[in-house]
Homo-oligomer: A and B are copies of this chain.
Amino acid sequence: MTVETKVLSAADALFYQHGVQAVGMDRIRDASGVPLKRIYQCFPSKGALVEAYLRRRDRWARTALEEHVARHTGSEERLLAVFDWLYDWFDGPNFHGCAFINAFGELGSGSQGVADAVRDHKAAVHQYLRTLTHETGAAEPEGLAAQLVLLLDGAMSTASITASPAPARQARAAARTLLNGASAATAVTDDSSPQIADAQQV
């Protein structure tokens, strides 16, 4: 295990659990066992370490997700498997929301490097969902992928705040409705008309 890997592992655990600003370099030194001088030889500043942390986490998340999906066959099962993977992640002991949304909220407007890493990750996940929705032969794969992105991000935030994995199941159910109902719904309705309006008041 290289020194750089030891530092990144410690930084990942601490940054993800407590937030970037709440963790000082001293704590990363203590957790990794690598002296500060050495840490600064690998990463010239804390900002560089934070960016490396995000890039590493991006690789981890997408690799794990794609490996999980690859164990399924059938285009719909593969797409819904995304949300099963999410459930397992949420249900584990080390889930603390989306590291990218958290980092963006903390530093996004103040660090270009962090903002870029967050946008790159979100774009890559979006692109992956696009390939899955195209596989299914859905009528509107692009729109469906964009909607699934919202379910994904919403589920991560809600699961973190409510400390419950249930949002993954709710997102899965919504994804299936969107997948099955999308063709019927888009075929019947058009996007800006005032609905049927049966006006049933409570």
Interface-lining segment among A5-13, A25-33, A53-61, A154-162:
A154-162
Q: How far is the CA of A21 from the CA of B106 in the complex (A)?
A: 8
Would you call A52 an interface residue if the criterion is a C-beta within 8 Å of the partner chain's C-beta atoms?
no
Would you call A200 an interface residue if the criterion is a C-beta within 8 Å of the partner chain's C-beta atoms?
yes
Interface 1/0 per residue, A1-42 and B, CB below 8 Å? 000000000000000011101100000000000000000000
Interface-lining segment among A43-51, A62-70, A142-150:
A142-150
Would you call A94 an interface residue if the criterion is a C-beta within 8 Å of the partner chain's C-beta atoms?
no
* Pairwise interchain contact B162-A146, C-beta atoms closer than 8 A: no
Number of chain A residues whose Cβ lies closer than 8 Å to a Cβ of chain B: 79
Q: Which B residues are in CB contact (< 8 Å) with A112?
A: none
Q: Which B residues are in CB contact (< 8 Å) with A135?
A: 200-202
Q: How far is the CA of A160 from the CA of B76 in the complex (A)?
A: 30
Q: Per DSSP, are chain A's interface residues mostly helix, strand or loop, or mixed?
A: helix
Q: Which B residues are in CB contact (< 8 Å) with A185?
A: 176-177, 180-181
* Pairwise interchain contact A17-B109, C-beta atoms closer than 8 A: yes
Q: Which B residues are in CB contact (< 8 Å) with A164?
A: 201
Q: How far is the CA of A136 from the CA of B198 in the complex (A)?
A: 9
Q: How far is the CA of A155 from the CA of B147 in the complex (A)?
A: 9
* Pairwise interchain contact B21-A21, C-beta atoms closer than 8 A: yes
* Pairwise interchain contact A195-B181, C-beta atoms closer than 8 A: no
Q: How far is the CA of A91 from the CA of B157 in the complex (A)?
A: 22
Would you call A173 an interface residue if the criterion is a C-beta within 8 Å of the partner chain's C-beta atoms?
yes
* Pairwise interchain contact A147-B122, C-beta atoms closer than 8 A: no
* Pairwise interchain contact A149-B143, C-beta atoms closer than 8 A: no
9 pairs from A and B in contact (CB 8 Å cutoff): A19-B110, A101-B101, A101-B105, A122-B161, A147-B174, A170-B199, A173-B191, A173-B196, A176-B191
